[in-house]
Amino acid sequence: MEYNNPLEKTYELEIDTQAREHLKPITTWARIIALIGFINVGLSVLRFFMQGPNSGPGIFAGLFGTFIISGAIMVVLYIFLLRFANSTAAGVNTENQDEFNYGISNLKLYFKTIGILLIIGISLVALMIVFGILGALMRG
Amino acid sequence: MEQNTTQSLFGLKVDYESGSFFREATKWARFIAIVYFVLFVLAVSLIIFAGEFASGVFEQLVDQGVLPVSVAEFKAGLYTIVFVGGLIGLTMLALLYRFASLTRQGLETNRQASFNDGLKSLKYFFIISGVLTVLGIVISFIGTVAAFFI
């Protein structure tokens, strides 16, 4: 038996021919961006280990920590983007609603992660400014 | 009979699940576009200010013969980079904002045309991002190859 929750909003929108025409290049380019992103992370790892050991051990450890965190974040973002591209394209091609929904959920995760990272980044910069002003006031 | 995977007879539609995913995606996309716009304005102001400030330093470097360009050439180069970069950046932000606004409008009013226009903006956003990513990897590759020889 199908149960319809009256609180659930219903949409009368379809993934029609025009929407499909837009979704195809979206998924193609999203896939390209994700794959190139993975290659870029790989190249960055290569460059890091080629240039990193030239600096002192303390600096290298600090740089390594930062590098690992930023690299992991980038990989997670590209995974979301790749999943969005693959699942949405598969959903559109095979008319599979579940696959399509899973793809769109990954687009949501992709934008949400970027948004949260932006909030964290801005908060850190704001904190640094506040501590900088406090430090300057305490010194002078 | 119930099926595990939904395969609609009438093709794909924006059901409750995908609709809520789209809504949340547009909410975050709009937030990203607005925040980046504010950061963009700040960055452009800072670059222009720094350019004015740095021109004195560059004047000294030109006088000493360290730089092969004049201060006017340096400033023209800096402003060209800021202008071109700014134009691309603003276009991308406008497209992301349009995707967020139109798709959300389409979902709220059940207007197919708005929803499709939103997707169209997302398409152009991804095309520009993709082209920039390809350029980025080419530059990154050249950098890595150069690092081998330095």
Structure-block tokens of residue B111: 């207007």
Instruction: Say yes or no: A30 contacts chain B, CB-CB below 8 A.
Output: yes
| Cβ–Cβ under 8 Å, residues B103 and B110 | no
Q: A2: pLDDT confidence band, cut at 50, 70 and 90?
A: very low
Structure-block tokens of residue B83: 């202008």
Residues 85-114 of A with CB under 8 A from B: 91-92, 94-101, 104-105, 107-108, 110-112, 114
**Which of residues A12 and B71 earns the better pLDDT score?**
A12
Find which of B10, B28, B137 to mutate to test the A interface (most A CBs within 10 Å of its CB): B28
What is the domain partition of chain B in residue ranges? 16-149
**Chain A, nearest residue to B111 by Cα:** A13
Classify residue B13 by burial, with Cβ atoms within 10 Å: 0-12, 13-18, 19+.
middle
What pLDDT, on the 0 to 100 scale, is given for residue A3? 45
**Chain B, nearest residue to A92 by Cα:** B12
Task: Report the candidate in A104, A115, A70, A78 with the shortest Cα–Cα distance to residue B133.
Answer: A78
Task: Report whether pLDDT(A82) > 70.
Answer: yes
CB contact under 8 A, B25 and A32: no
**Which of residues A62 and A115 earns the better pLDDT score?**
A115
CB contact under 8 A, A22 and B116: yes
Size of interface A-B (CB pairs under 8 A): 145
Task: Report the candidate in B16, B22, B10, B12 with the shortest Cα–Cα distance to residue B118.
Answer: B22
Weakest-pLDDT range from A122-131, B77-86, B118-127:
B77-86
Q: A52: pLDDT confidence band, cut at 50, 70 and 90?
A: low
Partners of residue A22 in chain B, C-beta under 8 Å = 116, 119-120, 122-123
Find which of A7, A41, A78, A97 to mutate to test the B interface (most B CBs within 10 Å of its CB): A97
CB contact under 8 A, B126 and A29: yes
Q: B10: pLDDT confidence band, cut at 50, 70 and 90?
A: low
Cα–Cα distance measured from residue B19 to residue B107, given in angstroms and rounded to the nearest whole number: 7
DSSP three-state, residue B41: helix
- DSSP for B56-92 reads HHHHHHHHTT-SSS-HHHHHHHHHHHHHHHHHHHHHH
Q: A55: pLDDT confidence band, cut at 50, 70 and 90?
A: low
Weakest-pLDDT range from A98-112, B11-25, B50-64, B134-148:
B50-64
User: A11-35, pLDDT tens digit by residue?
Assistant: 889 999 999 999 999 999 999 999 9
**Chain B, nearest residue to A99 by Cα:** B5
Q: B150: pLDDT confidence band, cut at 50, 70 and 90?
A: low
Cα–Cα distance measured from residue B1 to residue B3, given in angstroms and rounded to the nearest whole number: 7
- DSSP for chain A reads -----TTSPP---B--HHHHHHHHHHHHHHHHHHHHHHHHHHHHHHHHHHHGGGS-HHHHHHHHHHHHHHHHHHHHHHHHHHHHHHHHHHHHHHT-HHHHHHHHHHHHHHHHHHHHHHHHHHHHHHHHHHHHHHHHHHH-
What pLDDT, on the 0 to 100 scale, is given for residue A7? 53
How many CB atoms lie under 10 A from the CB of residue A78? 21
Weakest-pLDDT range from A26-35, A71-80, B2-11, B70-79:
B2-11
Partners of residue A7 in chain B, C-beta under 8 Å = none
Cα–Cα distance measured from residue B90 to residue B96, given in angstroms and rounded to the nearest whole number: 10
Task: Report whether pLDDT(B4) > 60.
Answer: no
Across chain A, what does the average pLDDT equal?
89
Task: Report whether pLDDT(B70) > 80.
Answer: no
What pLDDT, on the 0 to 100 scale, is given for residue B99? 98
Q: A53: pLDDT confidence band, cut at 50, 70 and 90?
A: low
CB contact under 8 A, A13 and B35: no
CB contact under 8 A, B144 and A40: no
Task: Report whether pLDDT(B120) > 90.
Answer: yes
Partners of residue B134 in chain A, C-beta under 8 Å = 32, 36
Find which of A111, A113, A122, A129 to mutate to test the B interface (most B CBs within 10 Å of its CB): A111
CB contact under 8 A, B32 and A114: yes
Cα–Cα distance measured from residue A109 to residue A93, given in angstroms and rounded to the nearest whole number: 22
